Amino acid sequence: MAILVDKQSPVIVQGITGKQGGFHAKLMMEYGTNVVGGVTPGRGGEWFEGKPVFDTVSKAVEATGATHSLIAVPAAFAAEAIYEAVDGGIKLIVCLTEHIPVSEMMKAVAYVKLKGARLIGPNCPGVMTPGQAKIGIIPGMIGMPGHIGVVSKSGTLTYEVGFALSRRGMGQTTFVGIGGDPVIGTTFIDVLQMFENDPDTSSVVLLGEIGGRAEIDAAEYIKNHMTKPVAAFIAGRSAPPGRRMGHAGAIVEGSEGSAEEKIAALEAAGVRVAANPEQIPDLLAS
């Protein structure tokens, strides 16, 4: 089962002839992802590692039947690429791109929702269903098939936790990196709901951080709707207020968004919160 992506999902890469797009397209194929083609305007008709390149998403979808897309283009073009994917008929869009202006994302996310597509990210590592497929940059080595769902705002923190789980033989259904930007396409709650409804997932790991109130909302959701156990880690206990900690969204503003507040809300919702992410396997095992 798993969620969002599996071995069959036909994936295109927007920006496949770019440096990052090409690099990760290759890794995705090596991992077993069903990459069916790529898009680079003006380069339609070329080939990339045996896969056709198209000028537009529309043409790529028409020719390949792709339903999933990875966006790996520079920030100035990424919002456009999201619109194009939506209009081209893509159902699941994963946007890696970092540094997209918030105003652009507010519009793009509104458009995605209006048209009933799903966007993961931006500024995210993507999704990976171990042993089946990945869309994005999550290193294959951190995962193994199993029954733990992982949802996270952070890329490398996800790798850290995935690696710790796998080393203990605790496999995962799907990793979902929702991204660290203030305005994102898919929230913790969206993914928690998917994991709750996925019969293959038996427990869930939530990796949050300071800034905003997404973890507070997630805690509320967990309390009211989740039957599966959830373990969590919140990064940024040692972060000073008022500073943006790398991620555009990671900032404690006034009284809002502190790690303490989030940890308290999650614990009140019955979530086991680790002080050290490498302890998460213990929390799930005990």
Partner 1 sequence: MKLHEFQSKALFGEYGIPVPRGKVATTSDEAYAIAAEIGGAVVVKAQVHVGGRGKAGGVKLAKSPEEAREVASKILGMTIKGLTVRQVLVDPAANIQQEIYLAITNDRQAGRALIIASAEGGMDIEELAVKKPSAIVRLHIDPLVGLKVYHANNVVSAMGVPREHYRAFVQIVQQLYECYIKSDAELAEINPLVITTEGKLLALDGKVIIDDNALYRQPKLAAMRDLSEEPESETKAREAEITFIKLDGQIGCMVNGAGLAMTTMDMTKLYGEADGIGPANFLDIGGGASSDQVAAALRIILSDSNVKSVLINIFGGITRCDDVARGILVAYDEVKPSVPIIIRLQGTNAAEGRALIDAAQIPNVVSAETLTEAAQKAVEAAKKAM
Q: CA quadruple 214, 218, 219, 221: dihedral positive or negative?
A: positive
Instruction: Identify the CA nearest to 152 among candidates 192, 117, 116.
Output: 192
Our CB check for partner 1 shows the closer of 84 and 198 to be 84
User: Considering the complex, what minimum distance in angstroms separates the CB of residue 131 from partner 1?
Assistant: 18
What does the DSSP assignment read for 9-70? --EEEETTTSHHHHHHHHHHHHHT--EEEEE-TT-TT-EETTEEEESSHHHHHHHH---EEE
Position among 100, 117, 266, 283 found at the interface with partner 1 (CB under 8 A) = 100
Our CB check for partner 1 shows the closer of 56 and 202 to be 56
Contacts of residue 143, Cβ cutoff 8 Å, sequence gap at least 6? 128, 130, 131, 162, 166, 171, 172, 175
Position among 2, 207, 271, 273 found at the interface with partner 1 (CB under 8 A) = 207
Our CB check for partner 1 shows the closer of 227 and 275 to be 275
Contact in structure between 23 and 139 (CB atoms under 8 Å): no
> Segment 16-35, which members bind partner 1 (CB under 8 A)?
20, 23-24
Position among 17, 18, 32, 56 found at the interface with partner 1 (CB under 8 A) = 56
Applying CB under 8 A, which part among 4-12, 29-37, 39-47, 219-227 lies near partner 1? 39-47
Instruction: Identify the CA nearest to 127 among candidates 195, 37, 226.
Output: 195
Tell me the per-residue interface mask from 209 to 248 with partner 1, x by CB under 8 A, - otherwise: xx-xxx--x---------------x-xxxxxx--xxxxxx
Instruction: Please confirm, yes or no, whether 24 is among the known catalytic residues.
Output: no
Structure tokens at 263: 């940890």
> Segment 161-200, which members bind partner 1 (CB under 8 A)?
163-164, 180, 182-183
> Segment 123-142, which members bind partner 1 (CB under 8 A)?
125, 137-139, 141-142
What does the DSSP assignment read for 230-282? EEEEEE-TTPPTT---SSTT---BTTBS-HHHHHHHHHHTT-EEESSGGGHHH
Under rule CB under 8 A, residue 250 binds partner 1:
yes
Our CB check for partner 1 shows the closer of 4 and 72 to be 72
Our CB check for partner 1 shows the closer of 202 and 279 to be 279
Position among 17, 26, 58, 131 found at the interface with partner 1 (CB under 8 A) = 58
Position among 67, 111, 171, 202 found at the interface with partner 1 (CB under 8 A) = 111
Instruction: Identify the CA nearest to 151 among candidates 118, 196, 110.
Output: 196
Active-site amino acid positions: 247
